[in-house]
Amino acid sequence: MTDAETQDVVGTGERRPVIAVLDYGSGNIHSAVKALQAAGGDVRLTRDRGLIQDADGLLVPGVGAFKAVMEQLRTVRGPELIERRLAGGLPVLGICVGMQVMFERGVERGVETEGLGEWPGVVEELKAPVVPHMGWNTVEPGEGSRLFRGLEGERFYFVHSFAAQDWTLEAHGPFAKPVVTWAQHGGRFLAAVENGPLSATQFHPEKSGEAGIRLLRNWIQSLPGATL
């Protein structure tokens, strides 16, 4: 990545990390771009393979159905792009269905769809009296979380009917033990995961006000070479 592809914060000596937002047709993408900009990122909405590989961080947004998101990702070779970054230890952040597709498969109304398989597990409908789970909720950050640093007790905005409700992956390879954050709606479900270069949230940081911006800033500050 050339100097022209980075953005310096005038007068501070800080460099805004380049964040590629994978443009594959997902809705609500522009609010995610604005939130990342507010959090300190030099944000590029793109499907360019070179930029996606070279960026400091990659955001994978997602709204709607698991199957539809997987189909849209395949049209831009999303699975290949995501796997290539992760294989190189390069940071990726998934949001909402962008988190769900990181699991082995999703089951929606009897239809089973293969996911990216980065994590073991199945995304299924929430076992709750009221679905979808829509609105503000607290979370239970895992010990040592970097995403939730300074955000204890904050609430985040959820809009979903499906989630991963079990976690079986322990530490493997060169990475530390995954940090798992839970939330409650009818029962316990995964609200966020931090696992080596791959992190994800079931809630929408871009809809979560200042707490969401701070969480995105925590992620950006964790990127290699970030000086914010």
- The residues annotated as belonging to the active site are 96, 204, 206
- Count of CA atoms in the C-beta half-sphere (13 A) of 120: 8
Residues 6+ apart with CB under 8 A from 197: 85, 86, 89, 90, 91, 92
- Kindly give, in sequence order, each residue whose CB lies less than 8 Å from that of residue 81, ignoring residues fewer than 6 positions away: 22, 49, 52, 53, 58
Helices (runs of H) and strands (runs of E) counted in the chain: 6, 15
Nearest Cα to 148, choosing from 112, 199, 198? 199
**Cβ pair 193, 200 in contact under 8 A:** yes
Q: Helix, strand or coil for residue 128?
A: coil
* Helix-strand-coil split of the chain, %, nearest 5: 25, 35, 40
